Amino acid sequence: MTYDPKAVFQSKEQIKAMQEKKLQEAVAYLNEHSPFYKELFTKSGFNTKGIRTIEDLSVIPTTVKEDLQQRNDDFLCVPRNKIIEYSSTSGTLGSPVTIALTEHDLERLTYNEYNSFISAGATPDDTYQLMLTLDRQFMAGMAYYSGLRKLGAGIIRLGPGVPSLQWETILRLKPTAIVAVPSFILKMIAYAAEHRIDVNACSVKAAICVGENIRNGDFSLNILGKKITDAWDIRLLSTYASTEMQTAFTECSECQGGHLQPELLIVELLDEMNKPVGAGQPGEVTITTLGVEGMPLLRYKTGDICSYHDEPCACGRNSLRLSPVFGRKKQMIKFKGTTLYPPALFDLLNEMEEVNDFVAEVYSNEIGMDEVLLHLSAANHTEENDRKIRAYLQARLRVIPQLRYITAEEIQKLQFPEGGRKAIKFIDRRN
């Protein structure tokens, strides 16, 4: 392996030069091995040798999720017998995509997560309880496991859900940290309160949070993050990744955004016209993988909307940092004159004590406008409870979505349809 964990501490100029060398290699590799990109280069009449700098990237057309869905096999750069792992995207938006990894890619993935855990302050003395699946073709679970192994930390693979088993194991094996979905940490806290477990007396001192935001755009803790830390005095660190990029952006001790690992990925934030946005402006996370062998991607638009910050970080890392994900581009809701991303809606719902759990549904009404229906499991079924919820939504959203009260079991069914590995909190039924 030729990766250098110190790469991220180099000067910005050194980082750029290193990335450009790797970019040239990546483009040459794609031109030789990728049926999809070979065709793209030929069609657009490219001299791939002309791609030398990060700025040169802008002439290459972007790749979108639909390309990966429709021509999945054409992205594969190696013969089938070199594939070790078949990972897949979770398929929350459209049909799932297979991302095939070679042995080399698995090593890269391990290195990536090793770096992530170091950024988050993990040491070989830690023991991590993993509250996510390692099955169902889920790449991240495997990445956490292998990254922690490389670090030499202890690992408890407990899988998702079942607060009783999570607590029993924490009390017995005394992990120092957990990797979990933040809303599940809230469920853990609720379970502990019901069963007289003192969360602050337990061994867990940090949580790596995946899948949901714990911070606002200014990096202060959001409602979900605050709810957790108000009850449980643990350090929360956020990590953001996607199967397609095979690379994580993880916060450092400063908690000022997830650091790019510049030796593994080039990231651009693009507007609607595919032009780069400035620092602090929302744009679509667009990635170019570096050093991937099986299914490398060039200017792949992830659909996630973030902003970036590029001032040097107090931790000493000089790579760009990404904000929390504001939302998925396709999930943007235009609801009665307001523009809204599901995570902002989730924040509001998480804040309400009157709501235990929820699923938000959006559909098109008869005139093609977005309508929002909230499936709620209420704290209690009184008129007072309902009145409070409506008043709060009116105050915060200016409009009240349709509300439908259902039981906790019904919510569970909506969140985990058969075969689901992540809780679904958002259902998009728009045309």
Which residues are at the interface with Zn ion (CB under 5 A)?
A: 252, 254, 313, 315, 317
Residue 391 exposed, middle or buried by CB count within 10 Å (0-12, 13-18, 19+): exposed
Three-class SS of residue 31? helix
Judged by beta carbon, residue 23 or residue 120, the one nearer Zn ion is 120
Closer to Zn ion by CB, 265 or 313: give it.
313
Cβ-based nearer residue to Zn ion, 158 or 322 = 322
As measured in angstroms, the least distance from the Cβ of 259 to Zn ion is 6
Nearer to Zn ion, 56 or 254 (CB): 254
Shortest Å distance, C-beta 93 to Zn ion:
31
Q: List residues bridging with 305 in a β-sheet.
A: 284, 327
Which pair of structure tokens corresponds to residue 83?
């594939």
What is the nearest approach in angstroms of Zn ion to the Cβ of residue 256? 6
Closer residue to Zn ion, CB minimum distance, 129 or 307? 307
Yes or no: say if 270 and 300 are a contact pair by the CB < 8 Å rule: no
CB of 254 to Zn ion, least distance (A): 5
- At position 66, the amino acid (one-letter code) is E
Identify the CA nearest to 132 among candidates 106, 111, 161. Answer: 161
CA atoms of 269 and 57, how far apart (whole Å): 12
> Which of residues 252 and 264 has its CB atom nearest to Zn ion in the complex?
252
What does the longest C-alpha to C-alpha distance in the chain come to? 68
Full DSSP string of 216-285 = -TTSSB-HHHHHHHHHS--EEEEEEEETTTTEEEEE-TT-SSEEP-TTTEEEEEE-TTSPBPPTTS-EEE
The CA distance from 139 to 133, in Å, is 9
Q: Is 5 helix (H, G, I), strand (E, B) or coil?
A: coil
Alpha-carbon distances, residue 246 vs 35, 272, 290 (angstroms): 20, 25, 10
Specify the residue, 256 or 331, whose C-beta has the smaller distance to Zn ion: 256
Q: Residue 395 is encoded by which pair of tokens?
A: 């105050």
Shortest reach from residue 183's CB to Zn ion, in Å: 26
Q: Considering beta carbons, is residue 252 or 345 the nearer one to Zn ion?
A: 252
User: Between the CA of residue 196 and those of 6, 191, 199, what are the distances in Å?
Assistant: 45, 9, 9
**Cα 39 from Cα 27, distance rounded (Å):** 13
Nearest to 173 by CA among 135, 126, 134, 228: 126
Taking residue 124's Cβ as centre, other Cβ atoms within 10 Å add up to 9
Looking only at the bridges linking them, the beta strands covering 154-157 and 98-102 are unpaired
8 A C-beta contact, residue 284 and residue 226: no
Q: Which is nearer to Zn ion, 313 or 414 (CB)?
A: 313
Instruction: Tell me whether residue 301 or residue 317 sits nearer to Zn ion (CB atom).
Output: 317
Q: Could you tell me if 236 and 205 are in contact, meaning their C-beta atoms sit under 8 angstroms apart?
A: no
What is the H or E stretch that residue 213 is in?
none
227/317 with CB nearer Zn ion: 317
Q: Closest approach of Cβ 316 to Zn ion, in Å?
A: 7
CB of 6 vs Zn ion, minimal distance in Å: 14
